[in-house]
Amino acid sequence: MRPGLLLLLCLLLTACGGSGGNSDNTVVGLLERPSNSTCLAFEGSGEVQLTAVAPSLTFTAPLLMLPHPDLAGIFYVVEQGGTVFRVNLANDTRTELVDLTDFYPLSDCPECGLLGMAFDPAFATNGYLYLSFTQGPGVTSYVARFESTDNGLSLRGDGAGGLDRTNVMEQSQPFSNHNGGHIAFGPDGLLYVGLGDGGSGNDPGNRAQDLSTRLGKMLRYNADGSPASNGVSGSVPEIYAYGLRNPWRWSFDRSTGALWAGDVGQSAFEEIDLITQGGNYGWRCYEGFERTSNSCSASGPFIDPVHAYGRSDGISVTGGFVYRGSNIPALQGAYLFSDYGSGTLWPWSASPMTVTSAEPCWRRAAMSPPLARTTRANCIWSPQPGCSGSIR
């Protein structure tokens, strides 16, 4: 299980005025840049600090934190073990929304458990929310719809001691790793689901390139669980994009609607992808920008990542968010992402970068000064739009 440090899910970026603000957990490096002239590091104008937002609360293996759709200061923290806590940041307290293990046997393996949560866009009127988890015996991935009739304090029961539950997706897993599990509604009002390649190593079943399976894909559903009109020729209908190894965390740019995904690498490169409808992101033929030694019968075209980094910078990309806040102008439009292993928080922005040398720009960009470091970074979260100092 991943370690649960409160700080990790409470990464609140705040701009620090003046020359102070460099506290214990802060590394400031925005004014530095690597020694090259063709591939510029992100250039910032101020200091950035991470602040714990619920300092008296601790969690076990927290994987996600997301805001209540309507209530300011109310957030939901998803623990891998199966519990969702409703956290009130105003008074640093929490209550339990649900512990899924009271109702279902969750799979017990390092990449299993409760993995994702999303509120229906019409939650205020229908009370629907969705959970993503792996359930035993064995490992079967589910996305299921639940209902809250008290605005997110509890989940409605089925009248027989269970929860009222409607499965949206059910997918058996051939191996216990690479379960993806992140779910979110896009700006199109549709439900996106990320699934890994089924696991093991080097995608032994070539599933990410196989359009007859949902494994190794980004899926898109209507809110009622029917496949959306994805239009990927020759595929099972819910496939939106493919060639992914393990899209663990991803998000929509709230300004442009673009879908940014961290796709966890095999042994050499972690990548950031801009996911588009029908796109093939290369796995298992490509890892990062590089052709792998795996056999590859697919002809492409393959879409390169927008950014990749190697083992000197991390071991497992966490993904992140495009910053659209106003408190840190230097970060406007930058993609802020992190890595599970190194805990580094980086900004990535295409605009200041130009590739004019033979050496790929991304190699140098990976050396850009980080914004900050924590010991681990399981998740980067996004508070409500307009939240002061928020990462978005």
What are the residues binding Ca ion (CB under 5 A)?
281-282
Nearest distance in Å: CB 305, Ca ion: 6
* b/e code 262-283 from CB counts within 10 Å (16+ = b): bbbbbeebbbbbbbeeebbbbb
Nearest distance in Å: CB 280, Ca ion: 9
Q: Which of 319, 269, 275 lies closest to 291 in space, CA to CA?
A: 269
Q: Which of 241, 238, 304 lies closest to 278 in space, CA to CA?
A: 241
Nearest distance in Å: CB 276, Ca ion: 13
Nearest distance in Å: CB 271, Ca ion: 5
Nearer to Ca ion, 64 or 303 (CB): 303
Q: What distance lies between CA 309 and its chain's CA centroid?
A: 17
Nearest distance in Å: CB 285, Ca ion: 9
Nearest distance in Å: CB 283, Ca ion: 5
Nearest distance in Å: CB 287, Ca ion: 7
Nearer to Ca ion, 148 or 292 (CB): 292
Tell me whether strands 247-252 and 259-263 are parallel, antiparallel or unpaired: antiparallel
Nearer to Ca ion, 123 or 281 (CB): 281
* Residue 375: half-sphere exposure toward Cβ, Cα within 13 Å: 7
| C-alpha torsion angle, residues 103, 248, 176, 76 (rounded to 10) | -20
Nearer to Ca ion, 10 or 195 (CB): 195
Q: What is the largest CA-CA distance in the chain?
A: 67
Rounded distance between C-alpha atoms, residue 366 and residue 373, angstroms: 15
Nearest distance in Å: CB 258, Ca ion: 17
Nearer to Ca ion, 305 or 383 (CB): 305
- Under DSSP, the state recorded for 210 is -
Q: Are 375 and 350 spatial neighbours (Cβ–Cβ below 8 Å)?
A: no
Token representation of residue 67: 């805001």
Nearest distance in Å: CB 267, Ca ion: 14
Nearer to Ca ion, 130 or 281 (CB): 281
Nearer to Ca ion, 288 or 320 (CB): 288
Could you give the C-alpha distances from 190 to 122, 203, 221, 222, 224, in angstroms and in order? 12, 28, 6, 5, 10
Q: Which of 5, 143, 146 lies closest to 63 in space, CA to CA?
A: 5
Nearest distance in Å: CB 245, Ca ion: 7
Nearer to Ca ion, 14 or 292 (CB): 292
Token representation of residue 217: 């894909």
Nearer to Ca ion, 308 or 330 (CB): 308
Q: Is 22 helix (H, G, I), strand (E, B) or coil?
A: coil
* b/e code 319-348 from CB counts within 10 Å (16+ = b): bbbbbbbeebebbeebbbbbbbbbbbbbbb
Nearer to Ca ion, 216 or 343 (CB): 216
Q: Kind and range of the H or E element at 8?
A: helix 6-9
